[in-house]
Amino acid sequence: MDQIEFAEYIGGLRDKRITRKEMATKWPWHLNTIRGYEKGERLPDVDYLLALSIETGADFVDLIEKRLMVGVLNDEHYLELLTNARLVDPDEPLLVLGQQTHIKVNNLDAVCEPGNSEYSFAPKKVKIPLDWVGDSHLGENTLATFKIADDSMEPTIIKEAHLLIDTSKNELQNAQVFALRINNDIYIKRVHKDISGGVVLLSDNSKYPPINLEKEQLKEIKVVGRVISSNNPI
């Protein structure tokens, strides 16, 4: 990724959630400054990337890493150092403005690693803000996080958003969004039950075709849980 590609990337993130004019009105950056960021005329500062993360749900650390790799450190020697560096300790709380109370939950990302054929929670846990959970009866034993890798659920859930999953909800409900383990992959899909007892797994992004599962095929999938949030309730 070069500076122009990074500019297009952050512009695309912003455009899916908020207009440039709205961003300039809500936050302390002039419209021309934001335009310059998104045209590749200048690189955004860390404060702007935090605001962008808050507005879009994009991972703040990921934005910082991408920004570093297209700036003055965009050199083979420095890129190697950046690649090997860890900007945050995964056991530390996520950075959220004004939030100091967190809860530890399971991280499902490692479940999708190649060769992991058995369903189980990854042993690694991450901390999330308690106010993201919402319902006080949900605790660390019934919650998990997962980072969606594609745009199949846009505009409801943006690409690379971090999802919060209620793993106690393992009975499929019509029209709800569920995390499903199929073979070695986790799918995030909206469920539609048909009259034959099967289900159709739908993407909110119309460019992705539906996945039809007959009643007998349902035995081959594992319901991980219902998606309850992607930084915003869904």
pTM value surpassing 0.75: no
| Residue 125 pLDDT greater than 90, yes or no | no
d(CA 2, CA 115): 33
pLDDT tens column, 40-71: 999 999 999 999 988 888 888 888 888 888 88
Q: pLDDT tens for residues 12-41? A: 999 989 999 999 999 999 999 999 999 999
**Average pLDDT of 99-110?**
55
Residue ranges and CATH numbers for the domains of the chain are 3-84 (1.10.260), 102-229 (2.10.109.10)
Strands laid side by side in the 211-213 sheet: 125-129, 102-107, 143-147, 162-166, 221-229, 177-182, 185-193, 199-202, 211-213
What's residue 104's pLDDT?
63
Q: In this model, does residue 173 exceed pLDDT 80?
A: yes
The lowest-confidence range among 38-42, 64-68, 72-76, 201-205 is: 72-76
Structure tokens at 15: 């455009």
Query: What is the secondary structure of 177-213 as a DSSP string?
Result: EEEEEETTEEEEEEEEE-TTS-EEEE-SSTTSPPEEE
What's the whole-number mean pLDDT along residues 74-81? 66
Given a cut of 80, whether residue 195 has pLDDT beyond it is: yes
In the structure, what pLDDT confidence band is assigned to residue 131 with cuts at 50, 70 and 90?
Answer: low
d(CA 228, CA 132): 10
The one-character DSSP state at 28 is S
